[in-house]
Amino acid sequence: MAAKVIRERLSGNEAIATAIRQINPDVMPAFPITPSTEIPQFVSSYVANGLVDTEFVPVESEHSAMSATIGASAAGARAMTATSSAGLAFMWEELHIASSDRLPIVLALVNRALSGPININADHSDGMGAKDCGWIQLYAESNQEAYDNMCMAFRISEKVMLPVMVCQDGFITSHAVQNINLLEDAAVKEFVGTYKPDQYLLNAKAPMAAGPYAVTQYYMEARRGVAQAMYDSKDTILAVSKEFGELSGREYGLFEEYCMDDAEYAIVIMGSAAGAAKDACDMLRAEGKKVGVIKIRVYRPFPAKELAEALKGVKVIAAMDRAESFSGNSGPMACELKAALYTAKMTPDVLSMIYGLGGRDITVEDMVKIYEDLMAGNLCCDEIPYRYVNVRE
Amino acid sequence: MSDYNFKEFMSRPDRLTPGHRMCAGCGGTIALRNVLKAVKPEDNAVICNATCCMEVSTFTYPYSAWTDSYIHNAFENAAATAGGVEAAYNSLKKQGKLDDNYKFIAVGGDGGTYDIGFQSLSGAMERNHDMVYVCYDNEAYMNTGIQRSSATPMFADTTTTPAGKCSAGKPQNRKDITEVIAAHRVPYVAQTTFLNNFSDLHKKAEKAIYTKGACFLTVLAPCPRGWRYETEDIMEVTKAAVETCFWPMYEVENGEKWTLTYEPKQKLPVEEFLAMQGRFKHLFKKGNEDKIAALQAEVDRRWESLLRKAEMSAKL
């Protein structure tokens, strides 16, 4: 039974903050960094006005933000934080500890370029830098998707006992105001439910020790456990998304397929730029061209098998990364997509493209040009085996 | 505390239990075992431990030597982690989801406290979390093999400040972490070590644990491996540290009331402390007399400064 809809106009940060207010987490340590600063600001104002029970901890750094979040989560609280860019990089060590300790932490990530040079605008280099830390990563195209992912995050996290990053693009999504359909507070509270940890520090009946020194005989099993949980989390993500779909009327899978049924030329992309790709796709479809878009929502776990299945019948793919990983091979997502296709014994042409770093605009016209290159077989790269969009060489 | 009773204190069950893998005679273990005696038997505690000897040797999976809940996070964030645990406690208490009473005790060596964990510590103290941070200070990074820290005294021979033909050991003076934390104007800061029957340590631990707000305790905790003395001599070494005024025993309330808790009847020359330890052996070679004089001058300077603060406080 679909819940009542509240029509609003909110920025991505406001949407995330609204979801946080509705979830009412027990603890939120955070440190301000553009463009995610508004999120802890909003939460602080909720605290100041008695709208939440949250203990907001205004820590002195992002490293301490994640450290305190880990402490709070291990203690038995529903705990979360928010950050961007350098803030996430500063947390890097702690990201591994959060997943290894199997703590159900949620992090609202507002994607921003990493230094240097210092830049405050959108790209995915922060999230991509944290892709191998044992965190589930959900990416959003719009403020609606960011809100919806946040509503689902604790449900997923507390079921699989892995931390979850809810990602949206800095400024493009975080600051741009869009129409949004919110759920009522009570509906979100009921959907998220009460957190009842099995083991936690503040359990006087059964004291717990967390974060051991594990020698060679044990370390590998701990990592193997995280890997299994990550692999298994796909089913939980899909189940929670299905339940959320029944509540909200908005369906989510591991990725979105747009005009993919008979597509021969596809763009695979994540985040806000998917909108430009879909517009370009619409224009070319109107001309009868067999083009499509896949927008990845769940980057971790990487939906390798499912993507390969969805790309069957596609002749040429543009794998578009909003991050440079300096591998000398491809963009980070393109590398994984190519590996997924290889495993599925598929050999379509894949053009790895890097776009939009540090907030550089990518337009519908750019996307049309990319489709035209795919259709014309213009896939050659010059100096390096992948291509940059809109860069001065 | 007025109701301190040595016998009752010592009859309390250990919260850091035997069977861990710390070295025989380790000062850190003695310090923590005694600090935790100050938690009343009816109260619960959560120990938040920085990466250090204490952590790797007391919580080697799947064994824990701690009877209380315990969390190790990383090297530089015991204070932030403890702050998070305390925030969880406050939130759950406020919401009526928790009945039990807890004390929060962060533990770090001097590396995790003076150096890599300093930012996290300063932040937690400023935010005044209701916790005690205990630094067991063995004056170098002992866990990685005796490298200098900002707690290492001048001229100490360490593996990153080795004494040699062109070096007399560590060139710099040590940071005074107790004064630095006192400057945060938190409710209670104290420094202590093992002296006589440990009553100074016990009383300060009890006061720190049962004073509301952020409290800080520095315990000089000798490391026989790093300081190079015979293991069984630890009480002589700490006594010499105190009697030479190298390690004054004092406390600071609210950043302004400085009180000496022990004053040597006759201040001994610093050589008495130095001569017991292999890390200062090179200072007793001919030609290094000026080094000992320089160390003595520094000890005197700091002691005089402390006396002035205590005198001023007495007039408050």
How many pairs of residues across A and B have Cβ atoms under 8 Å apart? Answer: 163
Query: How distant is the Cα of A55 from the closest Cα of chain B, in angstroms?
Result: 6
Residue A51 forms part of a structural domain: yes
Question: Residue B188's pLDDT is what?
Answer: 98
Structure confidence at residue B3 as a pLDDT band (50, 70, 90):
confident
pLDDT surpassing 60 at residue A139: yes
- Best residue of B21, B56, B85, B104 to probe chain A, by most A CBs closer than 10 Å: B85
Task: With respect to residue A346, please indicate whether it lies within any of the assigned structural domains.
Answer: yes
- The three-class DSSP label of residue B65 is coil
Of B60, B95, B126, the CB nearest to A213: B60
Average pLDDT over residues A88-116: 98
Alpha-carbon A67 to chain mean position: 21
Query: Which tokens in the block code for residue A350?
Result: 């894949």
Furthest-apart CA atoms within chain B: distance in Å: 69
Rounded CA separation A18/A43 (Å): 9
Answer yes or no: are the C-beta atoms of A338 and A304 closer than 8 Å: no
Interfacial A residues in 49-108 facing B (CB < 8 Å): 53-55, 57-61, 63-64, 67-77, 79, 93-94, 97
The last residue of one of the domains, among A248, A263, A297, is: A248
Give the whole-number percent of chain A exceeding pLDDT 90. 97
Report yes or no on B229 lying in a domain.
yes
Q: What is the pLDDT of residues A262-278, one digit of tens each?
A: 999 999 999 999 999 99
**Contact present, B15 and B36 (Cβ < 8 Å):** yes
Contact across the interface for A202 and B72, Cβ inside 8 Å: no
- pLDDT bucket at A383, cuts 50 / 70 / 90: confident
Chain B residue nearest residue A31, CA to CA:
B123
Give the gap in angstroms from C-alpha B216 to the nearest C-alpha of chain A: 18
> What kind and span of H or E run contains B258?
strand B257-262
Q: For residue B50, what are the contacts with CB-CB under 8 A and spacing of at least 6? A: B72, B73, B74, B75, B76, B77, B78, B106, B107, B108, B109, B112, B113, B117
Determine whether the interchain pair B70/A53 forms a contact, defined as Cβ–Cβ distance below 8 Å.
no
**Interchain pair A69, B84: CB under 8 A:** yes
The number of domains in chain B is 1
Residue B2 has pLDDT above 60, yes or no: no
What confidence tens digit (pLDDT) does each residue in A196-235 have? 999 999 999 999 999 999 999 999 999 999 999 999 999 9
- Kindly state the tokens that stand for B219: 């315990």
For residue A379, the model assigns a pLDDT of: 93
| Complete DSSP assignment for A318-371 | EEEESS----SS--HHHHHHHHHHHHTT---EEEEEE--GGG----HHHHHHHH
Are A222 and A291 in the same domain?
no
Q: Are residues A25 and A158 both part of a single domain?
A: yes
Neighboring chain B residues of A208 at a CB cutoff of 8 Å: 69-70
Give the tens place of pLDDT for each residue, A249-265.
999 999 999 999 999 99
Q: Are residues A219 and A312 in the same domain?
A: no
CB contact (8 A) between residue A212 and residue B88: no
Confidence class for position A393, pLDDT limits 50, 70, 90: confident
- With respect to residue A228, please indicate whether it lies within any of the assigned structural domains: yes
Average pLDDT over residues A156-181: 98
Is residue A152 included in any domain, yes or no? yes
Contact flag A60-B119 (C-beta cutoff 8 Å): yes
Chain B residues contacting A via beta carbons under 8 Å: 44, 46, 48, 55-56, 59-62, 64, 66-74, 76-77, 80-85, 87-92, 94-95, 98, 100, 102, 119-120, 122-124, 126-127
- The model's pLDDT over A278-314, given as tens digits with 9 standing for 90+, comes to 999 999 999 999 999 999 999 999 999 999 999 999 9
Residue A111 φ/ψ region, left for φ over 0, alpha for ψ in the -120 to 50 degree band, beta for the rest: beta
Smallest Cα distance from B46 to chain A, Å: 7
* Spatial distance between the Cα atoms of B102 and A79, rounded to a whole number of angstroms: 19
Q: Which among A200, A231, A248 is the end of a domain? A: A248
Q: Which pair of tokens denotes residue A255?
A: 């990725």
- What is the average pLDDT score of chain A? 97
What's the confidence (pLDDT) of residue A3? 81
Determine the Cα–Cα distance for residues B162 and B168; give it in Å rounded to an integer: 8
pLDDT of residue A256: 98
- A228 and A372: one domain? no
Is pLDDT above 60 for A353?
yes
Determine the pLDDT at residue A81.
99
Q: Does one domain contain both A113 and A21?
A: yes
DSSP three-state, residue A209 = strand
Q: Residues A223, A172: one domain?
A: yes
For residue B84, give the nearest of A27, A58, A212 by CB distance: A27
Average pLDDT over residues B155-175: 97
- Write phi, then psi, for B197 (nearest 5 degrees): -100, 20
Question: Are A85 and A230 within one domain?
Answer: yes
Q: Which of A64, A73, A103 best tests the B interface by mutation, with the highest count of B CBs <10 A?
A: A64
Which position has the higher pLDDT, B284 or A382? Answer: B284
A179-195 pLDDT, tens digit per residue, is 999 999 999 999 999 99
CA distance B28 to B108: 10
Q: What is the pLDDT of residue A247?
A: 97
Mutation pick from B55, B61, B67, B90 vs chain A, by most beta carbons of A within 10 Å, is B61
Does A278 lie in the same domain as A235? no
Together in a domain, A291 and A184: no
User: What CATH number has the domain bearing residue B85?
Assistant: 3.40.50.970
Taking the C-alpha atoms of residue A246 and residue A178, their distance in angstroms, rounded to an integer, is 23
DSSP string, B85-118: HHHHHHHHHHTT---S-EEEEEEEEHIIIIITTH
Residue B247 structural domain: 6-314
Domain limits at A222? 5-248
Same-domain status, A207 and A304: no
pLDDT at B316: 84
Count structural domains, chain A.
Answer: 2
A207 lies within 8 A of chain B by CB: yes
Q: Which of A201, A220, A248 is the last residue of a domain?
A: A248
pLDDT at residue B117 in the model: 98
- For residue A143, the domain's CATH number is 3.40.50.970
Instruction: Let me know whether A196 and A290 are in one domain.
Output: no
Find the CB nearest B81 among A68, A207, A214: A68
Mean pLDDT across A151-158: 98
pLDDT (mean) for A98-106 = 98
The amino acid sitting at A276 is: A
User: Which tens digits make up the pLDDT trace of B53-102?
Assistant: 999 999 999 999 999 999 999 999 999 999 999 999 999 999 999 999 99
Q: What is the pLDDT of residue A125?
A: 98
Cα–Cα distance between A214 and B111 in angstroms, integer? 21
Half-sphere exposure of B260 (CA within 13 A, CB side): 19
pTM above 0.95, yes or no: yes
- Tokens of residue B58, six digits: 């007391």
In B, minimum Cα distance to A30 occurs at: B84
Q: What is the CA radius of gyration of chain B?
A: 19
Domain harbouring A281, CATH code: 3.40.50.920
Q: Is the pLDDT of residue A137 over 70?
A: yes
CB B92 within 8 Å of CB A24: no
pLDDT at B1 over 70: no
The reply to whether B155 falls in a domain is yes
Q: How far apart are CA A318 and CA A355, in angstroms?
A: 11
Angstrom distance (rounded) from CA A284 to CA A289:
5
Is A393 within a domain?
no
* Longest alpha-carbon distance in chain A: 69
Checking if the pLDDT of A2 tops 80, the result is no
Could you give the CA distance from residue A15 to residue A54 in angstroms, rounded to a whole number? 18
Shared domain for A363 and A380, answered yes or no, is: yes
Q: Does residue B1 sit within a domain?
A: no
